[in-house]
Structure 1
Amino acid sequence: MGRAEERRARQRGGRRAAPKRRRSSGAPGKSGIRRFFTWKKVLGTFLGLCLLGIGGFIVLYLMVDVPKGNAAARLQSNVYKYSDGTILARDGKVNREIVDLSKVPEGVRNTFVAAENKSFYKDSGVDFKGTARGLINTLSGKGAQGGSTITQQYVKNYYLTQEQTVTRKLRELVISLKVDRQMSKDDILAGYLNTSYFGRNAYGIQAAAQAYYRVDAEKLSVRQGAYLAALLQAPSQYDWAVASETGKELVKNRWNYVLDNMVEEGWLSSSERRSMKFPVPKEPKAAAGLEGQKGYLVDLANNQLEEQLMKQEGISRSEAETQVKSQGWTITLNIDPKKQAQLEKSVETQLTNKLDPKERPVDGDIQAGAVSVDPKTGKIVALYGGEDYFKHYRSNATRTDYQPASTFKPVILAAALENQAETQDGEAIGASTVYDGDSRRPVVDANGKKVGFAPPNEDDVDYGDVTVQTAMNKSINSVFAQMGVDVGMDEVMDTAAELGMDDDLEAVPAQTLGSMGASPLQMAGVYATLDNHGKKVTPTLIKSAEQNNRKVTMPDPIGEQVISGETADTVTSVLTGVVDDGTAQKSVRDNPARDGQEVAGKTGTSDFGRSAWFTGYTPDLVTSVGMFGEDAKTRNQVNMKGATGTLPGTGRVNGGGLPAQIWAAYMFGVTDTDAEFDLDTDQGAAVEPTWTPTKTQEPSRTPTQEPTTQAPTTEAPSETPSQTPTETPTTTEPTDEPTTTEPTTTEPTFDIPEDPGDPDADR
C-alpha cells in the first residue's frame, strides 16, 4: 500500500471514530443499560415467564388429584390443662348433622351465595384475582385477604387445612377447578353448608339452625338464613349473645348487605326486603363437658389463641376459629387449681349461698365475675365467669358492658402524676394536694369557665377542702371530676389506654366517674400494671399451645414501662388508704381472715346500682371482683338494691360490701402474708405523714364554686352530715356509695352518659 493510500485510510478511520467521541459527550445513542433492556427483550422475557407459568400450572393440574374428603374424621378433641398439667376439660365432640340441600329452603341457600359469592352459579369455581392477591400476601408475610369463592372455601374446609402457605393455596386453586368440573353447583353448595363453622360449636347449617334459632334447617326463614350467612365472616365476634356493641352493629350491617344483594340478584322482592326485621338469635346452650367454670376458661383460652394466630399468620377471625376449634390442640392454662378452687368457694360462701330468688326476686338478677392475676408474670391464675357456663353462657369476667365506676379514679391520679399536672392555682397535683370536695361543685376549665358538669358526691355530702388522699379514701366525685379537667381528659384517656383499657374512649369529663364500659379482666390488668411498678401487664390465660409438632408462641404478658415507677408506686400508696381509712375498712382492713397482708385497692358502684366493684392487690396478687345486675329474662341492666337481704341501711349493693367480701375471702387465703410493697414514693397513705392536718368544719349543704379557706383535712365528715356542728367525728363506716336523696335544683345542671342525674350512684 502506498503512502497516499495509507493517508486516505487514516482519514477514513478518523472520520469513523469521530462520531464515537461525540456520543460519549452527550450525542444521541444507546447506553449499555438501554442496549440490555430493549423493549423486545423485556417483552420476550415477560412472554417467556407467562409460558413458563402456564406450563407449570398445566403440570400442577395434571399432578394434583382431588383427595378423598373426610373433614369430620380429621376433627380431634382439644385438651385443656391446668398449670400443673392436670386435665381441666376436653372439648371436641363434633356437633354436626349432614343435611341434603333439599332440606335447606331455596331462599336460605341464596343468602349464602349473596353473602359470599354472587357469581357462584356462573364462575369456574375460582376467583383468580383473589387467589393471586392471597399468594402475594402470603409471600410478603401479610397473610390471607378474602377473595375465595364458595367452591374454594368448600375445598379448604373439606379437602385441605386452614394453613396459610403458597403450596396449600396452589393446591386449593387446582382442586377447586377440578371439583367445579366434577361436581354440580348444588353438590358444592351442600358441601359448603355442611362443613362451615358457625360458632357455638356448631358445624354445618343444621347444627347452626339449632344453636341459634332452635329449629331445623328446613324451618329457617330467609332473614334467619341471612344472619347465619353474615355470621360466617366472624362467628364469635358476630354472635349476638356475646357481641360487643360494635360487633352487633357490624353483623347488622352484614345482614343488610346480604339481603340487599339478594334484591340486586332478583332472589328477593323489594317489598319483602323492606318488611324484614333483624332476627335476634336465642340464648346459646353450653356444650357438654364444659359445666361450671370450665366453659368460661375454654372460651377465653380459645379466644386468646385465635388472637395470636390472627397476628402471627395474618388470617381472619373466621379462619382462626376454624384452626382452633376441635383441631387436636393441647392447651395448658396458667390457672392454679388451688387458687381457682378458692375463688369459686369464696363466691359461693360470700354471695351465691345468700341469694334466694323465691324470697327476693332481685336475687335472680345477680351476676358476679372475677379475675386474679400475678402482677410479676401476667398469668391469670384464677377466673370466675358466672354461676355456671350452662346457666349463664356469657362470661362475667370478660364482659365490658358495665361501668367500672370509682375503680377508674386511680387512673385519673396516675394521669395527673405522670403528666405533672397542676391545679387551677398552679399547684402540682399529688396525694396532699387540696381540692374543694363539695357535692355538685361545677367543674371549671383552665380559664375558669364552667364546663357544664357538676357531679354529686356519695349521699350528696359536701366535704369542703380535702386532700387528694382523703378524696380517694372517701371516693369524692367532685374532686376527681375537677382533677380530670385539670389534667386534660385527652391525657387521662391516653393513660387509661396505656394501662390496658380500651384505646377509643371518648375524652369527656363524665368519664371521670368511670362511665365507660370495662371488664374485671381489663381492670385486673390496669391494677396489675400499678402493682408491677408501671410495667405493662396484659393478663394472659395460656401457658402453652401445641398441635402435633406445631407450637404457638404466646406474647410476653409483661410489656414495656408505660408509666413511671414513681407514679405507679404513688398510686399504690394512696390506695392503701382506701383500705385502712376508707370505703373498704370493714370488709378488708378488719376482715378476721387477714393475716398482716399489705393491701391497696378501690371500691366502686355505678349508676343506679347496676354494678359494684372491688379491685385490689397485695404485693404478689391482683384480683378484680365485679357484681352486675342483669335481668334474668331480658338481659337488661337492673338495680341490685336489696340483693341478699343482708345489706344494712339503704339496702344498696356497694363496692365495699359484697364484692370486697368476696375479694377478701379469696385473697386472704392464697396470698403471702410476709410480702411487702416496695414503693419508690414519698406520698400517700403508705408513707408516714410529715404534718398533721386540722379538722374541717361542718360541711355546707350549699354547693360552693370557690374553695373555702378552712384548713384541709384527711378526715371526712360522716356519710350524712349533722345539722348541728360537732367537734366529735362520727364512727359511721364510710362507703363509696351514692344516696337515694333526690338531686337539688342548684345550677348548673349536668349530664351523665346513659343515666343522667341519677342520685343513687357512686360512680
Structure 2
Amino acid sequence: MGRADERRARQRGGRRAAPSRRRSSPAAGRSGIRRFFTWKKMLGAFLGVCLLGIGAFIVLYMMVEVPKGNDAAKLQSNIYKFSDGSILARDGKVNREIVDLSKVPEDIRNTFVAAENKSFYKDSGVDLKGTARGLINTLSGKGAQGGSTITQQYVKNYYLTQEQTVTRKLRELIISLKVDRQMSKDQILAGYLNTSYFGRNAYGIQAAAQAYYRVDADKLDVEQGAYLAALLQAPSQYDWEVASKTGKKLVKARWNYVLDNMVEEGWLDASDRADMTFPVPKKPKPAAGLEGQKGYLVDLANDQLARQLMKEDGISREEADKLVTGQGWTITLNIDPKKQAQLEKAVKTQLTGKLDPKERKVDADIQAGAVSVDPKTGRIVALYGGENYFEHYRSNATREDYQPASTFKPVILAAALENGAETQDGDPIGAKTVYDGDSRRPVVDANGNKVGFAPPNEDEVDYGDITVQTAMNKSVNSVFAQMGVDVGMEEVMDTAADLGMAEDLQAVPAQTLGTMGASPLQMAGVYATLDNHGKKVTPTLIKSAEQRNRTVTMPDPIGDEVLSREAADTVTSVLTGVVDDGTARVSVRENPARRGQEVAGKTGTSDFGRSAWFTGYTPDLVTSVGLFGEDDKTGKQVNMKGATGQLPGTGRVNGGGIPASIWAAYTFGVTDSDAKFDLETDQGAAVEPSWTPTESEEPSESPSEEPTTEAPTTEPPTQTPTETPTDTPTTDAPTTEPPTQQPTTEPPTDEIPEDPDNPDSER
C-alpha cells in the first residue's frame, strides 16, 4: 500500500491490517492447578456445600424433638465437707415459685425484652448471627458470647444444659425454632421469666422480686424490674450488696440501657424515664442452715468452683453459676475443722466477746475477717467471714474495699530486693541500708526533684538516719515512701501483682502507704508466697469437687517462682524484727501462749482508723487478720476509735492490738512450736536480731504504727491464753440450700491519703 492509499485509509477510519497470529486454546497458558479452580467450578462447589448444609439441617430438624422440660427435676442438693470428710453443709431446695404471666405487669415484662431481645415479638425465635458466632467461638475455644434470643435462653434453661458444645448449640437452634412455632410469645416469655437465675439462690421472677425487694412480682415497679432485667447478665457481679465499685458502675449502666431501650421502643414515656432513680435492693436473707461461718465457706467454694468451670468449659459466669447451684456436687474443702474451731474461738475471745453496742455505739460497727493458709500446699485451712452469715452477708475474708495500709510495706522491700534497686546515693537497698526517717520528708526522684508527696510518721516523729530494718519495725512511712520511688512505682506494682494483689493498681507514690484495696484472702496469699520462699501461692478452698460422672480438678495452688528465694527469705528475716522488736511485740512476742514458735509479720492501720491488720506467719502457717469499721446501717467505712472499750488514751485501734491478739490466740494453739524458718539470707533480724530475750525481762509497751499524728496506744487488749480447740467448728451442719451468690470484691481505690494533716491520717 502506497502513501496515498494509507492516507485514504486513515481518512476512512481504517487501519493497516496486522499480521495474523496463531491463537492458542484457552487452557493452553494455564497451569494444571488453575484448571481445577475456574469460577464455574468454585461456584458449583459452593452451591453444593450449601445444598448439603440445607439438607443436613432439614434432616436434623426432622430428627430433633422438643424434649420434656425437666429442669427442676435435675436439681439436686450439693454437699459440702470438711477436709476430714465430715459434713459441713448441705444445701436444700432451690428457691423457685412459678407465676403466671398475668401476675407480671406488662411494664415489667418489657424491661426484660428491652434488656435481652428487643425484636422478641417479631423474630422467629433464633438469632442466626449470634448462634453462628457462638459456634465459631466454641470450635475455636474462645468460649461463649452473648447474642441468644429470649427463646434460645429459655430453651437452654428449661430443655437443655449449660454445656458449650457444637451439638448442644445446634440442638438449641432447632428446638428454639420449633418452640417458637409451637408456643405463643407470651408462653415463651413466661417460661423464660420463671426459669432464669437471678443470683441469691433465686430462680424465676417471683423469687427474685422477693430476694431483692421483698415484694411479689406483681408489685414491682419499672425501676425495680429494670434492675432485675439488668441483673440477668451477671448475677454474681451485679448483686448490689456485694458488687465491687466496678460491678456497681456496670449494673447501673445496664439499668440505664434497659430504660433507654424501653423509651426507644415506645414502652416508656421519656418524661417518666427522666424522673427515675436507681432502686437499691434490700439486703439478702441467707438460706436457713448457713449460720455462723458456713455460709461464707459455701459461698467461696461455689465461687472457686464456678471460676474453674468457666475456664474448663469456656462458659460465662451466669452459666457457671447454674452448673454449680443445686447440681448434686460433693465438694470437699481444705478446711481443717480443728483449726476452724480455734479461729472462731480466737475471734470470740479477743473481739466479739468484748463488743457491747449498747455501751459503745462504735462496737456495732466492728467487722473482722481472717484467712489461714498452709504455705506449703496453698490450702485454706480456716476462714472467718464475719460474726454470722445471717447478720452480715458479705464475707469480710474476701472483701477488697479496705486499705491494707502498712502490711503493704514488705511488698515494697521485696520489689527493691528483687530488682536490685539502689538509693539516691547509689547504695544497694537491703536491711542495713540507711534512709532519712524524718517525718514529712519530701520524696524525690532520681534527679532530685520533689514528686509532691511527703507523708507524716506516727506522732510526727523524726527518726533521722535509720536502717530499713528499724524502719520496718517501727513502720516509718517516710522511709518506705522514698524507697518506693527509688525502686520505681511500676516495679513495686508489678511485684504486688506477682505476689497476688490486683494487677491494675495505680503506680503512684501514695500507694507505698497501702492505700489500695485488699482482702485478708489476698494478703494471706502474698505472705504465703514469702513464707514459701518466693513460689507463688494462690490460696485454694476446694480440695475436690465431684458430680455424678464428673470430677473437677482444681489448679495447683503452688505456682512458679515469682520472687527469688533470697529476696523472699530476706523479707521474712526482716519481718521477724516487727514481732520481736517492733509494733507487734506485746500481742505476739510476749504472748503467754507462745511456745517458742518463730514468727514473722507486719501490722497496719488505714486512713482514719477504718481498718487494722496483722498478717503474720510461722514456718507452717500464714494467717491474715483484718478489722474493719463499717456502719451497721449504711455500710459506709467508719473510724473504729474506742471499740471494745479496752484501749486507753485515745482509744485508737491499731494492728498491733486486736488483730495481732486474734492472730496469736489462734496461731499459737495450732502450730508446731519446733518449726524453724529455713532462710537463705545474710540480712535481717532473723540473722542479726536487735533484741535478745531474757527471763527477767518485763513485757514492754507495743509501739503503734497507726494513724500518724495521734498518740500511740500504750497498752494492748487483754490477752486470753489459748485453749485447746474442739474437734469441730462451733456451727452445726445446715440442712437447706445456700445462696449461690459469692460476694464479689471491690477494686482497689488507688487514692492518695485524704489529708496528712488530719489526726487520723494513715500509718
How many residues are treated as equivalent by the alignment? 697
**Does the residue aligned with 1:435 lie in a helix, a strand or coil?**
strand
Provide the C-alpha distance between the structure 2 equivalents of 1:511 and 1:740, rounded to a whole number of angstroms.
19
Aligned residue type for 2:53:
G
Aligned residue type for 1:457:
N
Task: Please say if 1:663 is aligned against 2:663.
Answer: yes
8 Å CA contact 2:755, 2:761 repeated in 1: no
Provide the C-alpha distance between the structure 2 equivalents of 1:338 and 1:389, rounded to a whole number of angstroms.
20
Task: Please say if 1:364 is aligned against 2:364.
Answer: yes
8 Å CA contact 2:586, 2:700 repeated in 1: no
Aligned partner of 1:15 in structure 2 is none
Task: Please say if 1:738 is aligned against 2:738.
Answer: no
Aligned residue type for 2:680:
D
Provide the C-alpha distance between the structure 1 equivalents of 2:285 and 2:377, rounded to a whole number of angstroms.
34
Provide the C-alpha distance between the structure 1 equivalents of 2:105 and 2:204, rounded to a whole number of angstroms.
15
Provide the C-alpha distance between the structure 1 equivalents of 2:457 and 2:44, rounded to a whole number of angstroms.
81
Aligned partner of 1:86 in structure 2 is 86
Q: TM-score, normalised by structure 2?
A: 0.89
Within-5 A mapping of 1:507-526: 507-526=507-526
Deviation of residue 65 (structure 1)?
1.1
Aligned partner of 1:194 in structure 2 is 194
Deviation of residue 759 (structure 1)?
2.7
Provide the C-alpha distance between the structure 1 equivalents of 2:700 and 2:300, rounded to a whole number of angstroms.
44
Provide the C-alpha distance between the structure 1 equivalents of 2:225 and 2:133, rounded to a whole number of angstroms.
30
Provide the C-alpha distance between the structure 1 equivalents of 2:106 and 2:755, rounded to a whole number of angstroms.
46
Provide the C-alpha distance between the structure 1 equivalents of 2:320 and 2:412, rounded to a whole number of angstroms.
37
**Which is worse superposed, 263-272 or 613-622?**
263-272
Provide the C-alpha distance between the structure 2 equivalents of 1:74 and 1:428, rounded to a whole number of angstroms.
63
Task: Please say if 1:184 is aligned against 2:198.
Answer: no
Aligned partner of 1:250 in structure 2 is 250
Q: Which has the higher contact order (CA 8 A, sep 6+)?
A: 2
Deviation of residue 129 (structure 1)?
1.0
Within-5 A mapping of 1:95-134: 95-134=95-134
**Does the residue aligned with 1:381 lie in a helix, a strand or coil?**
strand
Aligned partner of 2:350 in structure 1 is 350
Aligned partner of 2:267 in structure 1 is 267
Aligned residue type for 1:228:
L
Aligned residue type for 1:515:
T
**Does the residue aligned with 1:400 lie in a helix, a strand or coil?**
coil
**Does the residue aligned with 2:676 lie in a helix, a strand or coil?**
coil
Aligned partner of 2:61 in structure 1 is 61
Deviation of residue 739 (structure 1)?
4.8
Provide the C-alpha distance between the structure 2 equivalents of 1:537 and 1:192, rounded to a whole number of angstroms.
42
Deviation of residue 474 (structure 1)?
0.4
8 Å CA contact 1:233, 1:317 repeated in 2: no
Provide the C-alpha distance between the structure 1 equivalents of 2:523 and 2:167, rounded to a whole number of angstroms.
44
8 Å CA contact 1:69, 1:158 repeated in 2: yes
Deviation of residue 375 (structure 1)?
0.6
**Does the residue aligned with 2:378 lie in a helix, a strand or coil?**
coil
Provide the C-alpha distance between the structure 1 equivalents of 2:141 and 2:405, rounded to a whole number of angstroms.
43
Within-5 A mapping of 1:720-735: 732-735=701-704
In structure 2, the CA distance between the partners of 1:465 and 1:245, relative to structure 1 (3 Å rule), is same
Aligned partner of 2:11 in structure 1 is none
8 Å CA contact 2:656, 2:702 repeated in 1: no
8 Å CA contact 2:456, 2:756 repeated in 1: no
Provide the C-alpha distance between the structure 1 equivalents of 2:612 and 2:593, rounded to a whole number of angstroms.
22
Where structure 1 has 5 or more consecutive residues not aligned to the other structure, the ranges are: 1-17, 693-713, 716-729, 743-750
Deviation of residue 524 (structure 1)?
0.2
8 Å CA contact 1:607, 1:760 repeated in 2: yes
Provide the C-alpha distance between the structure 2 equivalents of 1:291 and 1:398, rounded to a whole number of angstroms.
18
Provide the C-alpha distance between the structure 2 equivalents of 1:278 and 1:498, rounded to a whole number of angstroms.
38
Deviation of residue 137 (structure 1)?
1.4
Deviation of residue 49 (structure 1)?
1.3
Where structure 2 has 5 or more consecutive residues not aligned to the other structure, the ranges are: 1-21, 693-698, 712-750
Within-5 A mapping of 1:636-651: 636-651=636-651
Provide the C-alpha distance between the structure 1 equivalents of 2:708 and 2:317, rounded to a whole number of angstroms.
45
**Does the residue aligned with 1:284 lie in a helix, a strand or coil?**
coil
Percent of aligned pairs with the same residue? 84
Aligned partner of 1:142 in structure 2 is 142
Aligned partner of 2:597 in structure 1 is 597
> 1:438-464: CA deviations, max 9, x gaps?
111111111111111111111211111
Deviation of residue 732 (structure 1)?
4.3
Provide the C-alpha distance between the structure 2 equivalents of 1:640 and 1:738, rounded to a whole number of angstroms.
12
Aligned residue type for 1:630:
E
Aligned residue type for 1:41:
K
Provide the C-alpha distance between the structure 2 equivalents of 1:756 and 1:32, rounded to a whole number of angstroms.
82
Within-5 A mapping of 1:497-576: 497-576=497-576
Provide the C-alpha distance between the structure 1 equivalents of 2:298 and 2:700, rounded to a whole number of angstroms.
47
In structure 2, the CA distance between the partners of 1:206 and 1:605, relative to structure 1 (3 Å rule), is same
**Does the residue aligned with 1:546 lie in a helix, a strand or coil?**
strand
Aligned partner of 1:612 in structure 2 is 612
Q: Which runs of 4+ in 1 moved over 4 A?
A: 739-742
Within-5 A mapping of 1:314-463: 314-463=314-463
Aligned partner of 2:717 in structure 1 is none
Deviation of residue 326 (structure 1)?
0.9
Aligned partner of 2:72 in structure 1 is 72
Deviation of residue 92 (structure 1)?
3.5
Provide the C-alpha distance between the structure 2 equivalents of 1:371 and 1:364, rounded to a whole number of angstroms.
22
Task: Please say if 1:470 is aligned against 2:486.
Answer: no
Provide the C-alpha distance between the structure 2 equivalents of 1:602 and 1:675, rounded to a whole number of angstroms.
20
Deviation of residue 308 (structure 1)?
1.1
Provide the C-alpha distance between the structure 2 equivalents of 1:80 and 1:731, rounded to a whole number of angstroms.
46
8 Å CA contact 2:753, 2:762 repeated in 1: no
Deviation of residue 344 (structure 1)?
0.5
Aligned residue type for 2:412:
I
**Does the residue aligned with 1:615 lie in a helix, a strand or coil?**
strand
**Does the residue aligned with 2:338 lie in a helix, a strand or coil?**
helix
Deviation of residue 241 (structure 1)?
0.4
**Which is worse superposed, 512-521 or 452-461?**
452-461
Aligned residue type for 1:240:
W
**Which is worse superposed, 152-161 or 129-138?**
129-138
8 Å CA contact 2:81, 2:87 repeated in 1: yes
8 Å CA contact 1:460, 1:738 repeated in 2: no
Deviation of residue 752 (structure 1)?
3.0
**Does the residue aligned with 2:330 lie in a helix, a strand or coil?**
strand
Provide the C-alpha distance between the structure 2 equivalents of 1:32 and 1:469, rounded to a whole number of angstroms.
79
Aligned residue type for 1:344:
E
8 Å CA contact 1:458, 1:761 repeated in 2: no
Provide the C-alpha distance between the structure 1 equivalents of 2:564 and 2:125, rounded to a whole number of angstroms.
57
Deviation of residue 631 (structure 1)?
0.4
- Give the superposed CA RMSD: 1.8
In structure 2, the CA distance between the partners of 1:383 and 1:755, relative to structure 1 (3 Å rule), is farther
